[in-house]
């Protein structure tokens, strides 16, 4: 039983808001996705099971619609429109990716929360991330290469996160007032406020950022943080040492790889270890301070050139140095930490006689756990829910 157990959401299917429905469904809400005859457009999106298209074979549909129910209704049919009104009349939330005429749905249900996730006409994930800001900040030091869209439909995800947050706020408020309300979510605005210092740096300081390879876009060029390791794979290791104890750790880490004596800049690390005021001001004014700080960076490269990425990651972290291996998404299912935490999630597909591995819980509730309660629904599988 999830924390949203007992909350009924009617979701008018759309790729922009499908993630919002999934987040609520996996938290226990009873999410009924309404599909048109022939099924949601998402069912025509690849990848497909064994690369064979088909409405029940879309992995896109599978991914974004776990734990939901499906009913089919024809918006051009008066009987079906009345059935939709009845369905919504018994619901807590109506979620749609277009403008909603709240009055037409909430006339008999003032407790209803209506949610419209809105995007400019003819938007796709790419155009949301371009116009909404993220793309400007992502890419490479080489500005002849284009800005990069972050992978994985994050424009849609960001809009959906705000849809869920605002829906939950309205549900909590309704516990006090007994009243529902209407919520507009702007997908473009959602990306606009999800760009960190690109936005607040401009708003509060007039600073305009420029993209840099694998690290924060900034108004000034920063040190690279992405290192290629001996096995050709990358780590992110923006390790910064300021305090003597932090330099001690870097020295101990070098020792653990037997590299302290071999590393040519050990003397600078030792100066850091002996104590030195490292602040924005001294970094600007004293070139030796800069050398000391840079020696940490050099030490990382020195180790990276000699060990594989996973060993770099885990050995640095064992010494308390923040670093991360750049995993390909598929590698997450084999990672020992995520396996120990049970993140890979087995989901049964009984009609296929198979069980497949899905991405797991983004958060762990001690009393009301997240769960995929069922694989994505077959087209119209839950039509009996429409019965009076």
Partner 1 sequence: MDTGGNWSRHQGALRHVRICELSGQLAGAGATRILAAFGAQVIRIEDPVTKGLWDIVRQLGPMINNDTSHEGGSGFNNHNVEKLGVTIDLRKERGKELLRDLVRRSDAVTENFSSGVMGRLGFDYDDLKELKPDIVYVSNSGFGHSGPYTPFKSWGPIVQAVGGLTFASGLPDQQPAGWGYSYMDHTGGYMMAVALLAALFHRRRTGEGQWVDMACMEAAASLNGPGLLDATVNGRPLARPGMPNSNRSQYPLMAPHGIYPTVEPDRWVAIACRDEADWAELGPLLDAPVGDRFADLDTLDKVTAAWTGQRTRGEVVAALRPRGVPVAPVLLPSERCDSEQAAIDWGLFPTAVHTKHGRVRVDGLPVHMSRTDWQIEHGGPLLGEDNVRVFHEVLGIPVDEVERLHDAGVI
In angstroms, give the least distance from the CB of 74 to partner 1. Answer: 23
| One of 94, 198, 292, 371 touching partner 1 (CB under 8 A) | 198
Pair 262, 270: CB distance under 8 Å:
no
Peptide bond before residue 107 is cis, with ω within 30 degrees of 0? no
| Exposure string over 3-42, b if 16+ CB within 10 A, otherwise e | ebeebbbbbbbbbbbbbbbbbbbbbbbbbbbbbeeebbeb
Please say which residue, 264 or 318, places its beta carbon nearer to partner 1.
Answer: 318
| One of 86, 109, 236, 373 touching partner 1 (CB under 8 A) | 236
Please say which residue, 156 or 302, places its beta carbon nearer to partner 1.
Answer: 156
Interface mask toward partner 1 for 319-348; x: CB under 8 A: -xxxxxxxxxxxxxx-xxxx-xx-x-----
Pair 378, 354: CB distance under 8 Å:
no
Interface size with partner 1, residues (CB under 8 A): 150
**Rounded to an integer, what is the distance from CA 149 to the centroid of its chain?**
14
Of 376, 388, 303, 318, which Cα lies nearest the Cα of 68? Answer: 376
Please say which residue, 123 or 266, places its beta carbon nearer to partner 1.
Answer: 123
If one asks whether residue 120 binds partner 1 (CB under 8 A), the answer comes out as yes
Calculate the alpha carbon distances from 308 to 160, 173, 223 in Å.
37, 52, 22
For partner 1, the binding residues in 76-105 under the rule CB under 8 A are 102
Please say which residue, 195 or 266, places its beta carbon nearer to partner 1.
Answer: 195
Position of tokens 């006689």?
353
Stretch that binds partner 1, among 243-251, 265-273, 351-359, 378-386 (CB under 8 A): 351-359
Stretch that binds partner 1, among 77-85, 138-146, 266-274, 377-385 (CB under 8 A): 138-146
In angstroms, give the least distance from the CB of 383 to partner 1. Answer: 26
If one asks whether residue 188 binds partner 1 (CB under 8 A), the answer comes out as yes
Which distant-in-sequence residues (6+ apart) come within 8 Å of 124 by Cβ? none
Please say which residue, 174 or 257, places its beta carbon nearer to partner 1.
Answer: 174
In angstroms, give the least distance from the CB of 79 to partner 1. Answer: 30
For partner 1, the binding residues in 17-36 under the rule CB under 8 A are 23, 27
Which distant-in-sequence residues (6+ apart) come within 8 Å of 277 by Cβ? 289
| One of 185, 303, 304, 371 touching partner 1 (CB under 8 A) | 185
If one asks whether residue 111 binds partner 1 (CB under 8 A), the answer comes out as no
Cα(313)–Cα(322) distance, rounded to whole angstroms?
A: 8
If one asks whether residue 168 binds partner 1 (CB under 8 A), the answer comes out as yes
Of 91, 283, 301, which Cα lies nearest the Cα of 180? Answer: 91
């Amino acid at each position: 039983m999830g924390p949203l157990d007992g909350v009924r959401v009617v979701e008018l299917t759309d790729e922009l808001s499908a993630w919002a429905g999934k987040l609520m469904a996996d938290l226990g809400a009873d999410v009924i996705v309404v599909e048109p005859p022939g099924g949601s457009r998402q069912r025509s999106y690849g990848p497909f099971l064994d690369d064979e298209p088909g409405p029940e074979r879309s992995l896109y549909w599978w991914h974004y619609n776990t734990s939901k129910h499906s009913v089919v209704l024809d918006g051009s049919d008066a009987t079906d429109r009345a059935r939709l009104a009845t369905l919504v009349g018994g619901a807590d939330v109506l979620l749609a990716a277009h403008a909603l005429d709240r009055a037409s749905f909430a006339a008999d249900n003032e407790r209803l929360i209506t949610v419209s996730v809105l995007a400019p006409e003819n938007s796709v994930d790419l155009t949301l991330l371009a116009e909404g800001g993220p793309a400007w900040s992502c890419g490479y030091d080489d500005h002849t290469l284009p800005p990069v869209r972050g992978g994985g439909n994050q424009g849609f995800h960001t809009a959906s996160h705000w849809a869920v947050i605002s829906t939950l706020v309205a549900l909590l408020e309704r516990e006090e007032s007994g009243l529902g309300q209407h919520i507009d979510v702007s997908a473009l605005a959602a990306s606009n406020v999800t760009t960190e210092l690109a936005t607040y740096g401009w708003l509060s300081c007039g600073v305009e950022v420029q993209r840099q390879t694998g690290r924060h876009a900034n108004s000034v060029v920063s040190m690279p943080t992405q290192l290629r390791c001996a096995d050709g794979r990358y780590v992110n290791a923006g390790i910064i040492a300021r305090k003597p104890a932090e330099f001690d750790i870097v020295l101990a880490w070098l020792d653990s790889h037997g590299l302290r004596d071999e590393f040519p800049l050990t003397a600078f690390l030792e100066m850091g270890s002996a104590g030195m005021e490292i602040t924005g001001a001294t970094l600007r004014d004293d070139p030796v301070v800069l050398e000391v700080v840079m020696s940490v960076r050099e030490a990382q490269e020195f180790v990276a050139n000699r060990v594989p990425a996973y060993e770099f990651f885990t050995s640095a972290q064992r010494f308390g140095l923040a670093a991360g291996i750049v995993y390909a998404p598929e590698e997450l299912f084999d990672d020992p930490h995520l396996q120990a935490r049970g993140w890979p999630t087995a989901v049964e597909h009984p009609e296929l006689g198979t069980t497949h591995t899905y991405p797991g819980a983004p958060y762990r509730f001690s009393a009301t756990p997240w769960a995929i309660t069922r694989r994505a629904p077959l087209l119209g599988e839950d039509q009996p829910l429409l019965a009076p």
